[in-house]
Amino acid sequence: MNTLALDAALRERCRAITPEIIALRHAIHAHPETAFQEERTAREVAERLRALDIEVTTGVAGTGVVGLLRGGQPGPTVALRAEMDALPIQEQTGAAYASTTPGRMHACGHDGHTAILVGAAGALAALRAHLSGDVKLIFQPAEEQVAGASRMCAAGVMSNPPVAAIAALHGWPGLPLGTINVSPGPVMASADAFEIAITGRGGHGAMPHLTVDPVVAACEVVGALQSIASREVSPNAPVVVSVTAIHAGEAYNVIPEAARLRGTVRTLDPAVRARIPERMRRIAAGVCAAHEAEARVDYQECCPVTANDPRACRAIREAAEPLLGAASVRGDGPPSMVSEDFACYLAEAPGAILRLGLGDTPSLHNPRFDFPDAAVPLGVALMARVGLRLLGCGW
Ligand code: NI
């Protein structure tokens, strides 16, 4: 089959499976499962892949599923990835297929991503005799905790056979439906977590001069940490330092012994990221020393910067242009300070994550967000074509 005939067959196959894939999206949406509990979703995915005669491994990194679609011709192995986890949010969409589990919902579109990858697997499986190489289909748990991908990698998902290149998509509210954006370089931030334990000396709320007040010290630390972004890092290098939790004290008339701050740090540059812990320790220790209090900083690196490979971006654009039209395929999206554990796969192979336009929908993680059905067939055709294009790139 030549490229044109292969392309036509792929389009036809994608069209044919669209209703089934939309129904699958609704079924997954109705049964959301949060990080490392994606058992029902994983079972559904594994059954669908087995029905397509794809080699399936389950229980990877807990609840992950990996399919290996072997092509009829020799070639590299490329990977396509989706996430299966939902969020601890009470759904308010009012959809007929809304979450049946209180306090859990697919508010990040991972129901759409999972269904789309099952659809792309179906389209590619129908053409397997003509594929030059193998396609690995990675369905990971726990993206929302930026924990699933690193565990999938530790479980060896990028080896045996080794993955030459990898791609993923994420639905993007605000980007017009029928368009994509895939930009080279950093597209999503690194994510780190910190906890600062401040120790003072407790006492009576009416006699502060006899205490070392950790509340006052903690408040000054929160303010001083803002100078990391404004005074310690170049204005040209985006960095976010957010204190998201403060815990201290119980009673209105007691100055507590200790206070605890927690928060997150985001950067787009590994060199900037590497310098943050020392700055944070210096600021916390210095401010607390001024109050005779002590600070202990526990800094945890969670997820690296997601940096798209330029060649993979080009391959994705080439796959998308015949489908969407050149004007709807863009490579100039501004980076987001949100993080994505897809970065972990990119540490092992070149690849890229594309943003799939979802049009005018509520934002990700909003209780009224719902992955639009209209984006599903586009996603299926796109991922199938991306798989095909990556195979043809000669990595
Ligand atoms: Ni997401």
Express each pLDDT in 223-270 by its tens digit: 999 999 999 999 999 999 999 999 999 999 999 999 999 999 999 999
Q: How confident is the model at residue 86 (pLDDT cuts 50, 70, 90)?
A: very high
Q: Contact 335/240 with Cβ under 8 angstroms?
A: no
Distance 79 CA to ligand 1 centre (A): 18
How many whole angstroms separate alpha carbon 227 and alpha carbon 210?
30
Distance 106 CA to ligand 1 centre (A): 9
Distance 170 CA to ligand 1 centre (A): 7
Distance 308 CA to ligand 1 centre (A): 17
CA 173 to chain centre: 15
Chain length of the chain: 395
pLDDT > 90? residue 395: no
Which H or E run includes 189? none
Distance 16 CA to ligand 1 centre (A): 27
pLDDT at 246: 97
Distance 294 CA to ligand 1 centre (A): 38
Residue type at position 86: A
One DSSP character per residue, 252-285 reads TTEE-SEEEEEEEEEES-HHHHHHHHHHHHHHHH
Express each pLDDT in 292-319 by its tens digit: 999 999 999 999 999 999 999 999 999 9
Instruction: Give the whole-number percent of the chain exceeding pLDDT 70.
Output: 100
Residue type at position 119: G
Please report where in the chains the tokens 């985006």 appear, as a residue. Answer: 238
pLDDT at 39: 97
Q: Contact 55/121 with Cβ under 8 angstroms?
A: no
Please count the CA atoms within 13 angstroms of the CA of 278 that sit on its side-chain side: 7
Question: Where do the H-state alpha helices sit in the chain?
Answer: 3-30, 39-51, 110-126, 148-154, 214-227, 270-290, 310-324, 343-346, 375-391
Q: Is the preceding peptide bond at 161 cis, omega within 30 degrees of 0?
A: yes
Please count the CA atoms within 13 angstroms of the CA of 69 that sit on its side-chain side: 31
Distance 31 CA to ligand 1 centre (A): 17
Distance 338 CA to ligand 1 centre (A): 10
Q: How confident is the model at residue 214 (pLDDT cuts 50, 70, 90)?
A: very high
**What is the model's pTM?**
0.91
Express each pLDDT in 114-170 by its tens digit: 999 999 999 999 999 999 999 999 999 999 988 899 999 999 999 999 999 999 999
Distance 146 CA to ligand 1 centre (A): 10
Distance 358 CA to ligand 1 centre (A): 13
The Cα angle at residue 63 between residues 50 and 150, in degrees rounded to 5: 115
Mean pLDDT of 91-101: 96
Distance 306 CA to ligand 1 centre (A): 13
How many whole angstroms separate alpha carbon 373 and alpha carbon 350?
30
Express each pLDDT in 324-379 by its tens digit: 999 999 999 899 999 999 999 999 999 999 999 999 999 999 999 999 999 999 99
Distance 275 CA to ligand 1 centre (A): 28
Domains, in order of start, for the chain = 3-187+304-391 (3.40.630.10), 191-303 (3.30.70.360)
Closest Cα partner for 222 from 255, 260, 256?
260
Q: How confident is the model at residue 2 (pLDDT cuts 50, 70, 90)?
A: confident
Which H or E run includes 341? none
The dihedral through the CA atoms of 316, 22, 97, 86 has a sign that is negative
pLDDT at 54: 98
Distance 355 CA to ligand 1 centre (A): 11
Distance 220 CA to ligand 1 centre (A): 34
Mean pLDDT of 101-112: 97
Express each pLDDT in 368-387 by its tens digit: 999 999 999 999 999 999 99
Distance 26 CA to ligand 1 centre (A): 17
